[in-house]
Chain A
Amino acid sequence: NAGVMQNPRHLVRRRGQEARLRCSPMKGHSHVYWYRQLPEEGLKFMVYLQKENIIDESGMPKERFSAEFPKEGPSILRIQQVVRGDSAAYFCASSPLKIALRGLDEQFFGPGTRLTVL
């Protein structure tokens, strides 16, 4: 039973290039979340997606960042024209359909993609 998969694990980009980060949720999970962990900071929520829908992107920077979760294939976090401040670890998490009685909708995290912008 594979966990959440993220690739690449490490990504180096020069300023102005594009970064594409991929996330394959756990089997049977239909909810995907992206978090960013800046150096010396806690994980910060960026976006919540279901298949073909962005549910909440309130944590995403307004410019240069976009996310998608197509009907087929992994979720993609795309950062255009990267800057040094984008250097961080980007974590994807997934969860199954919420089971009302259980309460907490546990999010399972992937190993992260570490983005370095030169």
Chain B
Amino acid sequence: QKEVEQDPGPLSVPEGAIVSLNCTYSNSAFQYFMWYRQYSRKGPELLMYTYSSGNKEDGRFTAQVDKSSKYISLFIRDSQPSDSATYLCAMSASSGAGSYQLTFGKGTKLSVIP
């Protein structure tokens, strides 16, 4: 079993739809949960991060963490064509070597159709 599982998609939605992206993980040591956005031929860019369980909202984006289920989600409201990218979940522990070693999912490719 991989440490982080993420459905690679591709996911295609109409403009204005609500998008739900998800990852599951197996390592209980993970404390930081991140979502990166990667446009084609570019490097990953940190979108949001949460520490431990709970929700975090930033504009049209909401990140959710359920540590009991080892499940994290990113919701995008009112999706726009400019949101079309690959979304990567990433995780790290809070201390020691695990704090800087980011463990990534494979990424979900999202297309928002005008």
Contact = CB atoms under 8 A, between A and B. Distances in A.
Interface residues of B, number: 28
Given A33-B100, A105-B99, A111 B105 contact: no
A93 B34 CA distance: 15
A52 interface: no
> Ordered nearest first, which 4 A-B pairs have the shortest CB separation?
A109-B43, A42-B104, A43-B104, A45-B101
A41 B43 contact: no
A59 B49 contact: no
A56 B44 contact: no
A95 B43 CA distance: 15
Q: Is the interface on chain A under 10, 10 to 19, 20 to 34, or 35 or more residues?
A: 20 to 34
Contacts of A1: none
B106 A40 contact: yes
Centre residue among B43, B49, B51, B97 by max chain A CB count within 10 A: B43
Contacts of A6: 43
Given A42-B104, A42-B106, A56-B101, A109 B32 contact: no
B97 A107 contact: no
Interface string B95-110: 0010111111111000
B42 A107 contact: no
B41 interface: yes
Given A42-B88, A43-B88, A111-B41, A106 B106 contact: no
